[in-house]
Each structure stands twice: as C-alpha cells, then as structure tokens.
Amino acid sequence: MVSVADLLTDGRLPGNYFAQDLYVRGSTELGLLENRRGDRLLAIPDPLLQAIYSGLEKETGQASGLVLYNCGRWWGKNFYARFCEELADYYKQPLASLSMAEFLQSLQQCWKTHGWGQIHLDITYRDRGFLGVEIWHSPFTAAAPQGQKPSGDLERGILEIFFTQLTGRELRCAQTSCTAKGDDCNRFILGLDKRLAPVEGMVANGQAHQAIMQTLMQQG
C-alpha cells in the first residue's frame, strides 16, 4: 500500500531546483549575482561574446574553433561536477539513486535558467548508439560569426565532456546543424569515436542534419 506519510519522510518534496525565480539571487551590496547556494553567477554581455569570437579569429585563425572546443570541455568538466553536487545536496541522496528523469529535467531547467537557451535530448537513435542534443536559442552561436560551418564549438565541448562523465564512456560530439549557418537550432550527435568518425566529413561537405543521420543509420 502506498503510504503518504512514507512519501514525505522528512516533509520534503523536491521539485524544480533550478526554477528561475528561486535560483538566481543577488548580493547587491557586494555587486554580485549568486545562485541559491551562494555560488557566483556572471552575466556576460553579447558584445563580449562577439569580441571573444573575433579576437580568437584574429589571433588564432582556424584554430579558434579548437580553442573554444577546449574551453567548452574545461567548462563542461566543472559544470558537471557542480551540477551533480548541487543536485545531490538538494535531493539529499547520492546522485546514483536519482532517477534519470529528474536528472535530465534538471539539466534542461538549469540550462534555461542560466540563459544558455533550451536544451532537448533526442533519443530517436538511441538503439544505434547515438544520442542527439538540440539547443534552441543559443546565445553562443547567436554571437558567433555567421558562415557555412557550424560554430557551436563551446557547446560541443561542454556536451561531450558532460555526457562522457554521465555515461562513463569516452564519447565524442559532432555538431550537425547551427543557427550561425542559418539552421533553426544547434544539433549535436554524441557517440563513440569510431562510429562518429564519418560525421566530420559530411558536415564539412555542408550536408544537412537529416541527411547525415540517414547515412549514419545506413552504416548500421
């Protein structure tokens, strides 16, 4: 029998930890924004993002994507650790016993509340060993130089390391569509290195997300 009293062991009913009006706070007398745990938050102006892209392009040229990708991995590693720590604290249980639904929904809410756009997981290709991620309204690729190549390198890095740590398997991430080249959102594919290898070439040839996925599926 379901006992309501047992469901409410310590009277708590954890919900949306990252609800925006709860999560973002400020210590205005110090001039700081904070999250609900008192960790520092920072608002980055659009022109600064644009300046980073253009500065990198000017100083490192073709390597700028690689630099951003590595920054993304660095960021993602720390983001994953902090994200897990916050959730474990909030749910008062080790992360391993948190359900996947709560974990992933928290990730979506977290992403949104930080102003990084809307992140959605696409599990259509799960049986074939690929995980799709869509990011809508990304502020990062919105500030990136417009062109023919995907420019979500920062996000590619974050996602790669985040899901690598989550799944415990060395995953690679490739971007198949990008708002900076006129697509409706940023799409990423995560999978094992050797299975994902052909994607880079197809992206470089300007193939669309659907076509790339089709080819990947045919390869089995």
Partner 1 sequence: MTFKLDALFDSPDKQYLDASDLSTLSQYVSSIPERMAVYRTLRDQEIAIVQPIADALQQQAGHPEPLVERSVRNGLMVLRYAAMAMLLDDESFVEERLQGWLPEMVKAYETQAVDQQLFQLLHKQLGKVFSPAQLGLLKPSLEKAQSLMLNTRETVTLAGLL
Q: Is 100 in the site for partner 1 (CB under 8 A)?
A: yes
Smallest separation, CB 168 to partner 1 (Å): 16
CA 12: distance to chain centroid?
A: 29
Binding residues among 105-134 for partner 1 as defined by CB under 8 A: 105, 108-109, 112, 120-121, 123, 126
User: Which residue has tokens 């995907």?
Assistant: 150
Q: Which is nearer to partner 1, 37 or 126 (CB)?
A: 126
Part of the chain binding partner 1 (CB under 8 A), chosen from 44-52, 104-112, 187-195, 209-217: 104-112
What is d(CA 160, CA 158) in angstroms, rounded to the nearest whole number?
A: 6
Burial 29-40 (b: 16+ CB within 10 A, else e): eeeeebbeeeee
Smallest separation, CB 201 to partner 1 (Å): 29
DSSP state of 1: -
Q: Is 96 in the site for partner 1 (CB under 8 A)?
A: no
With contact defined as beta carbons under 8 Å apart, do 140 and 65 qualify? no
Site string for partner 1, 5-44 (x = CB under 8 A): x-xx----x-xx--xxxx----------------------
Q: Which is nearer to partner 1, 121 or 142 (CB)?
A: 121
Rg over alpha carbons for the chain, rounded to the nearest Å, is 19
Return the closest-CA partner of residue 85 out of 152, 17, 31, 156.
Answer: 17
Task: Write out the residues near partner 1 by the rule CB under 8 A.
Answer: 1-5, 7-8, 13, 15-16, 19-22, 99-102, 104-105, 108-109, 112, 120-121, 123, 126
